Copies of this chain bind each other. A is one copy, B any other.
Amino acid sequence: MPKKPTRREPAADPARASLTPETWIEAATAVLEYEGIDHVRIDALAQQLQVTRGSFYWHFRDREDLLRRVLQAWREHATEQITLRLERARVDPREQLRDVMSLPFRGRTAARAARIELAIRAWARRDEMARQAVDEADASRIGYHAQLFAALGFGADESRLRAFLLYSYELAESQLSRQGDSADKQARSAFVERLMTQALTG
């Protein structure tokens, strides 16, 4: 296994020749996160990873191929948590609901995921490949939320409607992280759980 490179290693280390594709994908994702998609360039990545530009082509056909795999990795990660949750299949759907509602608040991991996701959403405004990855991730998460509402006893159509609204709330908590303090966020979460699980009246 090649070591993950750090800036301290000498540039001539022959082990670099065998950087894994994942190292390139991770480096590209970090650039996407902090600088945006336009800064993801083979030259700059090779320099940062202290390898030749040529070694990039051992793993990827071209920049487009790298970007495709960045999106693939993001989608896998973004929906992985959902898949894990489905597999675990906790008995209490209410508990599952709380669990998924807490995702936007899970510290640094959530903050990083939010930054990467927003960068990908911005990219998706002008790139069809990114657009599709985002649409599929959104659809898969909304689908998971709909299953939770169905498990709580709502009909299929109403579960989809509730799922969209709850997913909207999670998206907003992740994007509007500076609206309110942590007490406000707790109050919002408790309110949303209550409203979202009550039957329509009137």
Which A residues are closer than 8 A to B by beta carbons? Answer: 33-39, 115, 118-119, 121-122, 125-126, 131, 135, 138-139, 142, 157-158, 160-162, 164-165, 167-169, 171-173, 175-176, 178-180, 184, 187-188, 191-192, 194-196, 198-202
21 A-B residue pairs with Cβ-Cβ distance under 8 Å, sorted by A, are: A34-B126, A38-B38, A118-B122, A118-B125, A135-B179, A161-B187, A161-B188, A161-B191, A164-B169, A164-B179, A165-B165, A165-B195, A168-B168, A168-B172, A168-B173, A171-B176, A194-B200, A195-B196, A195-B200, A198-B200, A201-B201
Q: Which of B119, B162, B180, B192 contacts A125 (CB 8 A)?
A: B119
A161 proximity list for chain B (CB < 8 A): 187-188, 191-192
4 closest Cβ pairs, A-B complex = A122-B122, A168-B172, A161-B191, A168-B168
Residue on B with the closest CB to A200?
Answer: B194
Q: Is A175 within 8 A of B171, CB to CB? A: yes
Given contacts A38-B38, A125-B115, contact A138 B176 (CB under 8 A): yes
Bound CA span A200–B131, Å = 37
Other-chain contact of A122, B36, B138, B172, B178 (Cβ < 8 Å):
B36
Contacts of A33 in B (CB 8 A): 125
For A37, A135, A195, the residue with the greatest tally of chain B CB atoms inside 10 Å of its CB is A195
Pairwise interchain contact B179-A192, C-beta atoms closer than 8 A: no
Contacting residues, chain B, for A157 (C-beta < 8 A): 187
Known: A158-B191, A172-B171. A179 touches B138 (CB 8 A): yes
Is B164 a contact of A172 with CB atoms below 8 Å? yes
